[in-house]
Amino acid sequence: MKSDIHLFLESISIQPKNIDFYLQAVTHRSYLNENKEHHLKHNERLEFLGDAVLELVVTKYLFENFPNPEGELTAWRSALVCGEMLYRVAKEIEIQEYLLMSKGEKKDTGRARQYLLANSIEALIGAIYLDYGYEKSEKFIKTYIIVHLKEVLDKKLFLDAKSYFQEKAQEVVGVTPFYKEHSVSGPDHDRIFIVGVYIGEECVAEGKGPSKQDAQREAARIALEKKDWL
């Protein structure tokens, strides 16, 4: 495992001074239940630290680079530090290949796995902060998270897509949209929902997600793009 974690850290340009910080960052609580001899604790305290560092770095960046009012900056920050974005970053840097977790957790590919991966990014940030301090943490966050800000702004990912689509539909065509479940598949722990959003009889777009709510949000986001209402 030691060589694996070094390989991972090399891929994200980290040369560890204390490798235990990073080993703890990839140690999920479930792993300790099956590996009593593991010499480190799980990563939840590092998540707590990393969450605070992430929010500070993103807040500082937005404050220094944009003159927008507080409400807008808050919405942008939320879109950058939310679980969905951190899950996406986790997949991009392939941290899932190095996580220590129970056999049961390894099999789960559903919603719980998404939370686990998102939390691992916060734990990793906490580890970088303990090992190197603020500047290295800031560099990591800018490289892998703040880099998505342009997409957040261009696609208005900071908006509540369902609410915004409803407002635009009522404003433009005077109709309240509704959602209809088209299909659900997969085992109980890994459901995939496909939902359509309708204006009258027209199915404007379909969305897919691990829950009805996620699928609805995705459908609304795609519908906004199709209608050119962004």
Residue positions annotated with a catalytic role: 51, 122
Distance CA 109, CA 87 (A): 12
Q: How far is CA 155 from CA 12, 161, 167, in A?
A: 27, 10, 17
* β-bridge mates for residue 180, sequence order: 196
Of 217, 169, 224, the closest CA to residue 193 belongs to: 217
Work out the number of other CB atoms within 10 angstroms of the CB of residue 60: 13
Residue pair 120/26 in contact (Cβ under 8 Å)? The answer is yes
Residue pair 37/117 in contact (Cβ under 8 Å)? The answer is no
